[in-house]
Copies of this chain bind each other. A is one copy, B any other.
Amino acid sequence: MSENIEKQAAPAIKLPPYKLASRATHPDDSVVPLGQSAVGGQEFIVMAGPCSVEADPQMLGTAWDVKMAGAHMIRGGAFKPRSSPYSFQGLAEEGLKMLAKARELTGLPIVTEVMDSTDVDLVESYADVLQVGARNAQNFSLLKRLGQCRKPILLKRGLMNTVDEFLCSAEYLLAGGNENVILCERGIRTFDNSTRNTLDLSAVLTIKERSHLPVIVDPSHASGKANYVAPLSKAALAVGADGLMIEVHCNPQAALCDGEESLNPVEFQILMRELAELAPHFGRAVSTVSSSANQAVPQ
């Protein structure tokens, strides 16, 4: 895998194939700026929103709700990777526009998935952070293209990627010149189907040991069950993750995609309060940027 790594002058330490991503070459934690927040520092960051952008009222309503609850960032999919070509594929640019409105409304940055290198310019023109989905975690052409992108990248772990392969994928981004990489553990595929995937929280520890990059956890996709999201979120905080990506929908029963794993706004609000209370016990803070917002009124 590493046959062509360029030789170093006097390599005292044998570097892994992900040399730029490795903690050996960069002992301090990397901190990636996200609007007024940042991920990888003391703050425990929560990105929330619907699986898919469906329509203005759904997107804007959910965005407002998650902002009010204290989320630091809005998520929503405009390009949707679906196993079947007959499933809802997302609203594409129309969805990106709705996300932009959500940003305008809430003042929060937005993260959304890009599935193909031909869409990078378009998605970058709208998004604050570009997400690479689990099924594209080893789409090396896309990773190379995103290495040239000047916005942060949220890279999800592939369903069958080892931690080292995951860090090699991140290396594609770093080697291309993009230093703002956020990793996301979202469950791996195993023999057990009790949950949609098997959340591998030990991987957070391994990543922190081997790399300086920030890592967040997506308990919604990992479990596929809304009632597992809160306990797994707290467990993610407990193992030292830098934040969460959580699916919230203003009306989960009506969601076009993954409704069974989405929190409703009230459930999300309760979770945010619990996380804010717990965070200091793990040396973290859940920032209160939105506590003042609780008094704010949407226009």
Contacts and interface: CB of A to CB of B under 8 A. Distances in A.
Interface string A223-252: 101011001101111111000000000000
Nearest to A160: B160
Interface in A51-77: none
A119 B142 CA distance: 12
A200 B197 CA distance: 10
Size band of the interface chain A makes with B:
35 or more
Nearest to A165: B83
B138 A1 contact: no
B228 A138 contact: no
A30 to B, nearest CB: 18
A139 B140 contact: no
A46 to B, nearest CB: 16
Interface stretch (A31-39, A84-92, A94-102): A84-92
Contact of A231 (B6, B228, B238, B277): B238
17 contacts: A4-B84, A84-B168, A86-B171, A86-B175, A117-B118, A158-B160, A160-B160, A160-B189, A162-B193, A188-B191, A195-B206, A199-B200, A201-B232, A202-B228, A205-B231, A234-B239, A235-B238
